[in-house]
Amino acid sequence: AQSVTQLDSQVPVFEEAPVELRCNYSSSVSVYLFWYVQYPNQGLQLLLKYLSGSTLVESINGFEAEFNKSQTSFHLRKPSVHISDTAEYFCAVRLTGGGNKLTFGTGTQLKVEL
Amino acid sequence: SAVISQKPSRDICQRGTSLTIQCQVDSQVTMMFWYRQQPGQSLTLIATANQGSEATYESGFVIDKFPISRPNLTFSTLTVSNMSPEDSSIYLCSVVGRGSYNEQFFGPGTRLTVL
């Protein structure tokens, strides 16, 4: 069975500073990788995904994540955060071999401060 | 993408009662799922709602406690039966849309508090 680890439950950061949210996964077979964001009192939104091809994927709001197969990681980064990035971020995996079950990490609360 | 609505958005219920949550999608979708997000925790898949047949439940979840219906390709319900305070959670519906096999979209969630 696959699993996802997000070691940081909370990450405080000042506005305009860079941030990295860590995600490691465990799976005996290949997976698709996702980052979801949940803004306060809202539902989950897909931020970005890795399916195949380039290991570096980007979102429209400046976040990027890099798939590292050897380290089984999919860390999320942004070079300069904004107050509006304050949210809960969930990393998730799904097996490539069929089925649609998403396995989520426990989430990282990103709090951007002035 | 798919636009998903859930009703109710939140509710406060008494112990021992049941609540049915509705999930409506704006387009026909191949797969629908129900997740639970307990306070301070991640999302856990409850079951896959199968159109025209019984839902497929994950380990730890049973039909008697969480009966699910899916009468067509755009609608599903989840009932939380005989509720206890431990059932206080956010319940989310998600779908995999046609033509977007690798992407799941989530509804806004139903915030349930059981007293």
Which pLDDT belongs to residue A101?
A: 82
* Cα–Cα dist A13/A54, whole Å: 29
Q: Which of A100, A105, A106 sits opposite B104 (nearest CB)?
A: A100
pLDDT for the residue B96: 84
Q: Closest approach of chain A CAs to the CA of B48, in angstroms? A: 9
Mean pLDDT check: name the lowest of A3-12, A44-53, A92-101, B1-10. A92-101
Q: How many CA atoms lie within 13 A of B63 on its CB side?
A: 8
pLDDT in tens, A38-96: 998 788 899 999 988 888 999 988 999 999 999 999 999 999 999 999 999 999 998 88
Burial status of residue B82 (CB atoms within 10 A of its CB: 0-12, 13-18, 19 or more): exposed
Chain B 24-53, residues with CB within 8 Å of chain A CB atoms: 31, 33, 41-45, 48
Chain B residue with minimum CA distance to A105:
B42
Mean pLDDT score, B85-89: 96
Q: If we measure between CA atoms, which residue out of B66, B94, B90 comes closest to residue B78?
A: B66
State the average pLDDT over residues B59-77: 95
Given a cut of 80, is residue B58 above it in pLDDT?
yes
- At residue B87, the 3 state secondary structure works out as helix
Query: Is the predicted pLDDT of residue B104 greater than 90, yes or no?
Result: no
On whether the CB atoms of residues B33 and B45 are closer than 8 A, the answer is yes
Specify the pLDDT at position A98. 64
Identify the weakest region by mean pLDDT among A58-62, B4-8, B65-69.
A58-62
Q: What is the pLDDT of residue A96?
A: 81
Q: Which of B96, B103, B108 comes nearest A43 by C-beta? A: B108
Q: Residue A10's pLDDT band (boundaries 50, 70, 90)?
A: very high
Average pLDDT, chain B: 91
Is B100's pLDDT higher than 70? Answer: no
Percent pLDDT > 90 in chain B is 74
Give pLDDT, residue A112: 97
pLDDT at B98: 65
Residues of B in contact with A105 (CB under 8 A): 42
